[in-house]
Structure 1
Amino acid sequence: MTVRAAWLTNRGDAAGGQTRNDTRLAPLGAMTPAAELTTAPGVIPGGDPFELAATGPMTATLATGRATIQGTGPQGAYPVAITAPEALVFADGDPANPRIDLVVLRIYDTAYDSSGQTFATVEIIPGTPGAAPTPPPTPAGALALYRVQVAAGLSAGTGGIDFPAATTDVRRYTTAVGGITPYSVTGAYRGQYRDTGTGLQRFTGTTWSGLAAEVIGWTKVSLATGYGHNGNSNGDVRYRVIDLLGTRFVQWRGGMNLSYSRGAPRGDGKFLRTALPTTARPTGLRSLSVACSASTSSILSIKVDFHSNGLGVVISDAGDTPPWLSLHGVMYPL
């Protein structure tokens, strides 16, 4: 038996009872609370648990992994493990319409569901064919893992399922209390943490607050005529947007070469060829002092304005024409 559950049967049951090996394999410590008596269901992270891999036109396997499945409040949570790949066989497509099937890890417990069965299993729940199909609902006592689209008329004879294109990963993850849950989860208690994929967030009890999340990664800007990258060998001019303790900031780095016309920076100092995207624009004017060359300049810093319309403007004093400036360390709130 490759799908094992702990605390589902006992030695007196006809099903054979929980073995010591079942208890060792099943995840007993992964219990992020959802409410007073319930646990957030989910997959236990580590490697690629329950990976879906195609084995034929209409067949696939579900790899090994561990999970926790929550029943009703009084029913409790079931630790489950798959110890060897499980074979999946998808039914042929409907002649006229596509459908969406749901791959789930499921608990049957007749003491609560009147199914007459007591075991853990992997199931494909077929969707209803339709012109605009929707996936079937996840049954009680089940954990959804994947949605698979099955096109109309599809079969092994017509080429089968293109699994990489047809599969949507809906695995949700869970960890022990105090652990950092990968990916987005619903907040359950104050002080809970999650990893959004770009940074950490903390749940305040009512909302998620960013600790240090990257909203836009380092992006090289396109500079206007008269301006160039790598001023004073400081690297290309780049920016990124981060979420720090609930406030968004723009960070800059790199060096910029400048040229002048009639003693003023070219193009009225507007050094960006295109405006910054909306998510990187400040709500009001941000004026900063940045380091510049001492050559042909009586000052060691120069003013740069960042406007709410996404423009960046260099402003210098008459007679000061430094050939480069450095944006390293520049950061301002949006």
Structure 2
Amino acid sequence: MNLRSSWVVETGQTREDTRLTQVGATTPVNPVQVRSGILPGSYDGRFRLSGFWMTGASAMAATVSEGRAVIQGDISQGVYPVALPASETVTFEPGNAQYNRIDLVVLKIYDKLYDGPDRNEAVVEVIQGKADPTPQAPAAPPRSLPLYEVTVPAGVSAGNGGINWNIALKDLRTPVVSVGGILPVEGPVLPGAYPGQFQDSGGALQRWDGGAWVPYPSALGGIIPSSAGTLTASYTGQYRDTAGGQLQRWNGSAWRPAYPGPYFNDSLDAGYTVSTTYVNTLVERTTNPLVVTFVAPESRQAILTFGSRMELSLVSGTTGIASSAYMCVRVTQGATVHREVEDELAAIASKSADPTDAFSASSTQRLHTLTPGATYTVTAYYRTSNANVRAWFDNTFIQVTPQY
């Protein structure tokens, strides 16, 4: 038998046995006992758990590969380190004539202090299950570590093709690491032993908080990295990075941009008005009105910028008229007007008699006394100073940048 162990045999333990089995891996489950399991790792670093991997070797035999593990006995028995430095072959009995069965492959410690006289050894063993219409795997014996369940079909034997190893195996292996190490999760997710213990769930680092495994960023109040962007948020106010580089905040029901804005809308479609009072609809523009909505930040302030390329043209049959084009915005919150349009706040282009040129004009202003979290609407308005002069507006835009 290739499986080596420490402190089981009364005589004959070699220095080589001791060196091979000093695994230094104990993941506690309570102040006295540790979790039974296999040390993680693989030859090329590609896999989390390669120790004691099992594959079919022949019709009714399988190969268990090398590895190291610890097996916890009862609370007063201590933990047994074991090592398999070379692969081991295990053989399965032929199938029952009528029903399937499920066998269990285990690492088993025989200690004569607890198992009876004259047997002190560690073995890789097949525990044969009971053939049944609905077969169940047998219970693992004391001082053993389950490796695999193997379904043995009814009537199967070496003479008729044997076990189909592609579908027969159920992997039960679980890893262990030394105290303070980060445990790679394979198989069932078991409770932690102490607050502050860490495990790698395969897609995210988790921390045991005393009652549950909590995503690591949640436990520390940090930012969930984009590589773990599928994690469910743990609390309102948690932040995450996204693949596009945008920081998001969990609002209790959805991820939203942590710092929304700037909010922007524009129109490259020209239109005009001959109204001397402010209107939000331009003739010959296909889309009216030009609107931006934004959510007010906690600072209650935002920077508002708006502007347009403006041109003044005389209505047919008129000459010699000086005039101005005005663009302004109305800011509303629901049905309430937060800021009304007025000339003092407008972007203006003025011309002397018989204008022919175009001008670009814009204005930047501060919005304040906003209600945090409320949605506001900014709507563009336009007018001309003279009904005989068309005020044209093109390349019109509105931008709102919240201040945080």
- For residue 18 of structure 1, report the CA deviation from its aligned partner: 1.3
Alignment correspondent of 1:18: 13
Counterpart-to-counterpart distance in 1, 2:100 and 2:267: 71
Q: Is the 8 A contact 2:52 2:65 kept in 1?
A: yes
Q: Cα–Cα, structure 1 residues 119 and 285, in superposed 2: closer, same or farther, change >3 Å?
A: closer
Counterpart-to-counterpart distance in 1, 2:73 and 2:203: 32
Query: In structure 2, which of residues 204, 208, 211 is the aligned counterpart of residue 203 of structure 1?
Result: 208
Counterpart-to-counterpart distance in 2, 1:321 and 1:53: 70
Counterpart-to-counterpart distance in 2, 1:113 and 1:124: 17
Q: Could you give the per-residue CA deviations for residues 108-161 of structure 1, whole angstroms, max 9, x where no partner exists?
A: 001122253100000010111111111111110100001111111112222211
TM-score, structure 1 as length reference: 0.67
- For residue 317 of structure 1, report the CA deviation from its aligned partner: 6.9
- For residue 321 of structure 1, report the CA deviation from its aligned partner: 11
| Correspondences of 1:210-221 after superposition (within 5 Å) | 210-212=215-217
- For residue 30 of structure 1, report the CA deviation from its aligned partner: 0.7
Counterpart-to-counterpart distance in 2, 1:185 and 1:99: 28
Counterpart-to-counterpart distance in 2, 1:284 and 1:192: 29
Aligned residues: 259
Alignment correspondent of 1:309: none
What residue identity is the alignment partner of 2:111? Answer: D
Q: Does 1:107 find its partner at 2:70? A: no
Of structures 1 and 2, the larger Rg is shown by: 2
Q: Does 1:81 find its partner at 2:83? A: yes
Q: Does 1:94 find its partner at 2:96? A: yes
- Give identity over the alignment, percent: 37
Q: Is the 8 A contact 1:243 1:249 kept in 2?
A: no
Alignment correspondent of 1:241: 230
- For residue 316 of structure 1, report the CA deviation from its aligned partner: 9.1
Counterpart-to-counterpart distance in 2, 1:199 and 1:141: 32
Q: Could you give the per-residue CA deviations for residues 51-104 of structure 1, whole angstroms, max 9, x where no partner exists?
A: 112111111110000000011111100000001110111111111111111110
Q: Is the 8 A contact 1:210 1:246 kept in 2?
A: no
TM-score, structure 2 as length reference: 0.56
**Paired residue secondary structure (2:9):** coil
Query: In structure 2, which of residues 67, 70, 73 is the aligned counterpart of residue 68 of structure 1?
Result: 70
Counterpart-to-counterpart distance in 2, 1:295 and 1:57: 73
Alignment correspondent of 1:133: 135
Alignment correspondent of 2:180: 178
Q: Cα–Cα, structure 1 residues 242 and 20, in superposed 2: closer, same or farther, change >3 Å?
A: same
Counterpart-to-counterpart distance in 2, 1:169 and 1:19: 32
Alignment correspondent of 2:334: none
Q: Is the 8 A contact 1:88 1:124 kept in 2?
A: yes
- For residue 283 of structure 1, report the CA deviation from its aligned partner: 6.0
Counterpart-to-counterpart distance in 2, 1:291 and 1:101: 64
Counterpart-to-counterpart distance in 1, 2:95 and 2:267: 75
Q: Cα–Cα, structure 1 residues 59 and 318, in superposed 2: closer, same or farther, change >3 Å?
A: farther
Counterpart-to-counterpart distance in 1, 2:108 and 2:96: 25
Q: Cα–Cα, structure 1 residues 56 and 302, in superposed 2: closer, same or farther, change >3 Å?
A: farther
What residue identity is the alignment partner of 1:118? Answer: N
Counterpart-to-counterpart distance in 1, 2:266 and 2:36: 64
Alignment correspondent of 1:296: 267
**Paired residue secondary structure (1:55):** strand
Q: Cα–Cα, structure 1 residues 252 and 202, in superposed 2: closer, same or farther, change >3 Å?
A: closer
| Correspondences of 1:147-296 after superposition (within 5 Å) | 147-183=149-185, 184-212=189-217, 240-243=229-232, 284=253, 289=260, 296=267
**Paired residue secondary structure (1:242):** coil
